[in-house]
Structure 1
Amino acid sequence: MPRTIDEGFKDFLTKLTPSSTETEAAKSHRASIEQCLKSNFNLLRFWRIGSFGNGTSISGYSDIDYLASLGDLTTNSNVSLQNIKAALDNRFPNTGITVRCPAVKAPFGYLAKETTEIVPGRLISWDPYYVYNIPDCNGEWMKTSPDAHNAYVRKVNEKHSRKVKPLIRFIKAWKYYNNVPISSFYLEMRVAKYCDSESSIIYWLDIEYFLTRMLNTYLPILQDPAGISGYIHPCSSQVNFDTTLSKLKTAVTRAQNANNAKKSDDIKTAFEWWDKLYANNFPSYYK
């Protein structure tokens, strides 16, 4: 039996959302990491941030991010990252701990859900949200506030009857399935800001509109809509920017073709174009 486009995206969202088993597996090393940080760096607060923390993770692709509020940090943020790496290396000697600024990465297995990244932070203010200095990858520190960012996304999500976080997942799925080297945080905040100015959300339309707007504005640096982190960059290098722009052009063409087919009542062809956009991971036209 054929599906409608709306049914296709409903089933796709189920596929993208991590299962309870995957979510629980993500917690398995938390206590050991927390104890290590308490023993070595005067841990004050430790909590999940990023996609898993905000309900926008992608099954099989999103790793686990924590922010560790630490009392004992050096002036040079690069040195702090190396110190944390050394402590975790000592606690987990066979894990292959590395620095992936602004975090220390602990790959406990081969799957994304088995990888934990710890971002060290120094608390600098707490009203109305906790604000931290985290490594800026140049030895200095930069401001961030996962609490403020989550609150902003949550506010826009509620404004649109909880359709914004699914839209974020659909855009992130394009990133992961096509190996697009663009920042997940950039996409999350950019989708939320896009939705904040929209009157309604229709997934199959807004995916096209959002991707087209990114392309037409040439992947601009985003001013943090939560007013904390200054400017948010889409990519970490010029090479990644060029690759992202190329893949974005292809994505826009495929989304446009999908919606043109839908407008012509050729739903089967529309499904085929969505499947191309998502690298053969979109649900089949037939149930």
Structure 2
Amino acid sequence: MGTYDNFSKLVQNTRTLNHSTVTERCGKITKRLNIEYWDTESSTSHSRYVGSYGRGTAIRGFSDVDLLMQLPDSIYDRYNKYLGNGQSALLQEVKKSISKTYSATDVGGDGQVVVVQFSDTMRFEVVPAFINKDGTSYTYPDSNNGGTWRKTYPVAEVEAINELNNKYNKNVKKLVRIMKAWRKTNSVPISGMLLETLVMNFLDGYSYKDKGYTYYDWMTRDFLKYLSERDPNQTYWRAKGSNVKVYRTGKFENKAKRGYSNALEAISDDEKYPIIAYQTWRKIFGSYYPR
């Protein structure tokens, strides 16, 4: 296969497969909380996917699904009046409610979310939240350090990545997903949100940002070079859409430099030594890269 076919298949190999399971479990959690807080049995109202699954950048083999559940303002008023850590009390109440549906599943609190851990390793992180007056941002509880309320901007972040993705021939989400395959294969210490942010920053100034799969070997090479050249002392970047700080979780520059070197080698060998090139691409993308 040529570059177009290889990278088309690579992108396909990163796509998630278990949408029906995710939808079913999301529906049950949503229905349970709607019964508890909204007096309705709807399995879709008041909830939305957030995180990588909500932004369309989760890859095959993912385990975490982030689910934001909007609660009535009266619930916020009740727990905001607590003298001590109403945020923790709210999370515990939501945990007890979800346990009524998933009594045999491990349900626990985790600082800012209620975690629903399934036996097949899929993990839902449920964020109880309250919509703000702007109609797009939310306030959610953080039970750490005595408890506080924080804001999140999932709608703005989804709109930002969708806008650039449409503008750049769907390349934003495709590049994010294949670079998540690189991250997973090479144990790169970079969060999904930071990877998305850097992909969007990179494509904003990239000559081939709207090209097809024929250019993906160059795009891979050039993005890895871009990553390798980030300032290792920079601690955060600004997320598109929300402008919130996205912090680094480790030093990723050296692994990016190694990946860049491998990409140069694979591109050089591609025509004369396709087997060697294939082996080198696999160093970058692992089993996601097609045989």
Which bin holds the TM-score, normalised by the shorter protein?
A: 0.7 to 0.9
2:27 aligns with one of 28, 31, 36: 31
Q: How many angstroms apart in 2 are the aligned matches of 1:13 and 1:180?
A: 19
Q: How many angstroms apart in 2 are the aligned matches of 1:169 and 1:177?
A: 12
SS where residue 46 of structure 2 aligns? strand
Q: Is the 8 A contact 1:160 1:200 kept in 2?
A: no
SS where residue 97 of structure 1 aligns? strand
SS where residue 16 of structure 2 aligns? coil
Tell me, yes or no, if structure 1 residue 221 matches structure 2 residue 231. Answer: no
Counterpart residue identity of residue 163, structure 1: N
| C-alpha distance 189-100 of structure 1, shift in aligned 2 (>3 A) | farther
Tell me, yes or no, if structure 1 residue 116 matches structure 2 residue 124. Answer: yes
Deviates more, 1:207-216 or 1:274-283: 207-216
* Structure 2 counterparts to residues 4-19 of structure 1, below 5 A: 4-19=2-17
1:278 aligns with one of 275, 281, 285: 285
Q: How many angstroms apart in 2 are the aligned matches of 1:137 and 1:174?
A: 34
Q: TM-score, normalised by structure 1?
A: 0.81
CA root-mean-square deviation: 2.5
Counterpart residue identity of residue 132, structure 1: Y
Offset at residue 281 of structure 1 (A): 3.6
Offset at residue 94 of structure 1 (A): 1.6
Q: 4+ runs of 1 displaced by more than 4 Å?
A: none
Offset at residue 272 of structure 1 (A): 1.4
Offset at residue 260 of structure 1 (A): 3.2
Counterpart residue identity of residue 274, structure 1: W
1:187 aligns with one of 163, 182, 195: 195
Tell me, yes or no, if structure 1 residue 170 matches structure 2 residue 178. Answer: yes
SS where residue 106 of structure 2 aligns? coil
- Aligned sequence identity (%): 24
SS where residue 125 of structure 1 aligns? coil
Q: How many angstroms apart in 2 are the aligned matches of 1:54 and 1:109?
A: 25
| Residue-by-residue CA offset, 1:210-257 (whole Å, 9 max, x unaligned) | 3333333226411122135x211232xxxxx2xx53xx5234313322
* Structure 2 counterparts to residues 57-96 of structure 1, below 5 A: 57-71=58-72, 72-73=75-76, 74-75=79-80, 76-96=86-106
Structure 2: state its 5+ residue gaps: 40-44, 81-85, 210-214
Q: How many residues align?
A: 266
| Residue-by-residue CA offset, 1:92-117 (whole Å, 9 max, x unaligned) | 222111233432221223243xx322
Counterpart residue identity of residue 24, structure 2: S
| C-alpha distance 177-120 of structure 1, shift in aligned 2 (>3 A) | farther
Tell me, yes or no, if structure 1 residue 250 matches structure 2 residue 255. Answer: yes
Tell me, yes or no, if structure 1 residue 152 matches structure 2 residue 152. Answer: no
Structure 1: state its 5+ residue gaps: 236-240
| Residue-by-residue CA offset, 1:173-205 (whole Å, 9 max, x unaligned) | 222334444322222233223222323234323
